[in-house]
Chain A
Amino acid sequence: MDGIHDMGGKQGFGRIAVEEDYIFRSAWQRRAFALVEALAWSTPYNTDQHRHAVECVPPADYLRLDYFENWIVASEMLLKEAGLVDQSELDDGRKHFDVDQKSHAPVGVHEIVDATKAGADLRFPEDTQSARFAVGQSVLVSHTQAAGHTRVPRYLRGKTGRIVSDEGVFQFADAVVAGRGPDPQHCYTVVFSAQDLWGEEAQVGDSLCADLWEAYLEPA
């Protein structure tokens, strides 16, 4: 979606607060991070769905709220959608109804640390999907703007780049969030000339790389 989250190339945000080097500034940010991570196991929602929920935070709120508050707003949305929490509960901070614990069991201390340490491999075997593009080939990034979750930044749409590597076959984030399953496909690193992206304000020779799923690309 063409949301406020898609920030690459936007102007007007001023200098970078390089001194803001902290991870958490307040106890509640720490708590918010942990809550989002823990809820992912029992709710359940995955990273892609949570990312999309953050994208759906209204633009004015997205910019005004703290990063971790946006995470919490997104988790509230997902919990409400799943029927596990309702707005009246969020309004007064109290439980009004029970949920079926069997299908939403909380994850224990050891399981969550083990799972965090293990991570989740999102790749599929290379030979499950043929590759449409080869390293060195020129590709055009599709103009199509998906209404839902997508990982094509707006500043790359309609631009021509060159495949520098085939990262392998991955589940496709757009399809996962749209409920179409993993739709595994090749994901490529594509290089663009900075001048092709930004015009003459960019320096000759500078470049940008992004990882793009096959569905976003057409032969140039």
Chain B
Amino acid sequence: MSKQSKGSDKGHTDGHGHEHDPLEEGAALRVRALEEIVVAKGLVDPEALDSIVEYYERETGPRNGAAVVARAWSDPEFKNWLLQDGTAAINSMGFRGVQGEHIRVIENTDETHNVVVCTLCSCYPWPVLGLAPAWYKSPAYRSRVVREPRVVLEEFGFELPRGTQVRVWDSTAEVRYLILPVRPANTGDLSVEELAQLVTRNGMIGTAAV
């Protein structure tokens, strides 16, 4: 590996260092063992394993959520529908499926900024955001964002506008949450596609402004 670890003596966060991580090696073996046993027993079709991950990578992800947000910014009628019945409005755009059966969209305003977490596990609206990033599932995010959301947002490099209140949404039951960010200023002449380019995954979780 060409990367010499200057100032980074802990290999865990280095995406290229995993082959040398003994914990991961153990986990890889464990997964392979279980896979071989359940395939041998006929409990799982090995082809189905590939198709599941391909499905999530092909059909889900934050670009879906960004399309929803951009449309809401451009079409007041759609926005009303989205805020009233997020699931139906999102389904109408072809985004649906596991962990997206009951989606509620929460609108950020100048008065209130919203941020989403699942303190008990890692609930996340898969059809519109894809599978959750590692930090969203981490003990640090799950423990801290409910208690000190303002400090957490700072760690994400997000400066909350003065006078804005924070509301945290803990996904404790079956509803999954998508944040509708405030539309950035001076974007009046952008097309829906161009607007979608501005929207980030973190903006739709609430750990970024947009």
* Interface set of A (CB-CB < 8 Å, partner B): 5-11, 13-23, 25-28, 30-35, 37-39, 42-43, 51, 54, 63-69, 72, 75-76, 79, 84-85, 89-90, 92-95, 98-99, 101, 104-109, 112-113, 115-123, 151-153, 155, 167, 170, 173, 187, 189, 191, 194, 197-198, 201-203, 205-213
Q: How far is the CB of B36 from chain A (nearest CB, A)?
A: 6
- Point out the residues of chain B lying under 8 angstroms from A43, CB to CB: 43
Cβ-closest chain B residue relative to A111: B48
- Point out the residues of chain A lying under 8 angstroms from B165, CB to CB: 203, 205-207
Please determine whether A28 and B174 come into contact, CB atoms closer than 8 angstroms: no
Please determine whether B134 and A21 come into contact, CB atoms closer than 8 angstroms: yes
- Point out the residues of chain B lying under 8 angstroms from A63, CB to CB: 139
Name 15 A/B residue pairs within 8 A (Cβ), A-sorted.
A5-B121, A7-B139, A9-B147, A16-B140, A20-B133, A34-B52, A39-B38, A69-B31, A119-B96, A151-B172, A153-B172, A167-B174, A170-B174, A197-B147, A206-B149
Task: Tell me which of A101, A122, A207, A212 has the highest count of chain B C-beta atoms within 10 A of its own C-beta.
Answer: A207
- Point out the residues of chain B lying under 8 angstroms from A107, CB to CB: 45, 48
Task: Tell me which of B50, B51, B120, B139 has the highest count of chain A C-beta atoms within 10 A of its own C-beta.
Answer: B120
* Interface set of B (CB-CB < 8 Å, partner A): 13, 15, 18, 23-24, 27-38, 40-45, 47-53, 55, 59, 96-102, 104, 117, 119-122, 130-135, 137-144, 146-150, 152, 155-157, 165-175, 207
Please determine whether B13 and A17 come into contact, CB atoms closer than 8 angstroms: yes
A121 to B104, CA, bound (A): 14
Please determine whether A93 and B33 come into contact, CB atoms closer than 8 angstroms: yes
Q: How far is the CB of B140 from chain A (nearest CB, A)?
A: 4
B34, B42, B47, B138: the one contacting A35 at CB < 8 Å is: B34
Task: Tell me which of B33, B101, B147, B156 has the highest count of chain A C-beta atoms within 10 A of its own C-beta.
Answer: B147
A25 to B157, CA, bound (A): 24
A66 to B12, CA, bound (A): 11
A38, A201, A207: the one contacting B48 at CB < 8 Å is: A38
Please determine whether A20 and B135 come into contact, CB atoms closer than 8 angstroms: yes
Please determine whether A39 and B44 come into contact, CB atoms closer than 8 angstroms: yes
Q: How far is the CB of B82 from chain A (nearest CB, A)?
A: 16
A28 to B33, CA, bound (A): 11
A25, A27, A170, A211: the one contacting B171 at CB < 8 Å is: A211
A65 to B26, CA, bound (A): 10
- Point out the residues of chain B lying under 8 angstroms from A187, CB to CB: 173-175
**With A7-B142, A10-B143 in contact, is A51–B134 under 8 Å at CB?**
no
Please determine whether B45 and A7 come into contact, CB atoms closer than 8 angstroms: no
Cβ-closest chain B residue relative to A104: B43
Please determine whether B101 and A119 come into contact, CB atoms closer than 8 angstroms: yes
Please determine whether A28 and B133 come into contact, CB atoms closer than 8 angstroms: no
- Point out the residues of chain A lying under 8 angstroms from B149, CB to CB: 206
- Point out the residues of chain B lying under 8 angstroms from A67, CB to CB: 122, 134, 137
B24, B45, B155, B171: the one contacting A18 at CB < 8 Å is: B155
- Point out the residues of chain B lying under 8 angstroms from A65, CB to CB: 23, 27
A75, A99, A109, A202: the one contacting B47 at CB < 8 Å is: A109
- Point out the residues of chain A lying under 8 angstroms from B132, CB to CB: 23
- Point out the residues of chain A lying under 8 angstroms from B101, CB to CB: 119-122
Please determine whether B33 and A90 come into contact, CB atoms closer than 8 angstroms: yes
A72, A94, A213: the one contacting B173 at CB < 8 Å is: A213
Please determine whether A51 and B121 come into contact, CB atoms closer than 8 angstroms: yes
A33 to B156, CA, bound (A): 27
Q: How far is the CB of B173 from chain A (nearest CB, A)?
A: 4
- Point out the residues of chain A lying under 8 angstroms from B31, CB to CB: 28, 31-32, 35, 68-69, 72
- Point out the residues of chain A lying under 8 angstroms from B102, CB to CB: 121-123, 167
Q: Which 5 residue pairs of A and B lie closest in terms of their CB atoms, listed nearest first?
A: A8-B119, A93-B33, A211-B173, A28-B28, A95-B40
A63 to B6, CA, bound (A): 27
Cβ-closest chain B residue relative to A121: B101
Q: How far is the CB of B97 from chain A (nearest CB, A)?
A: 5
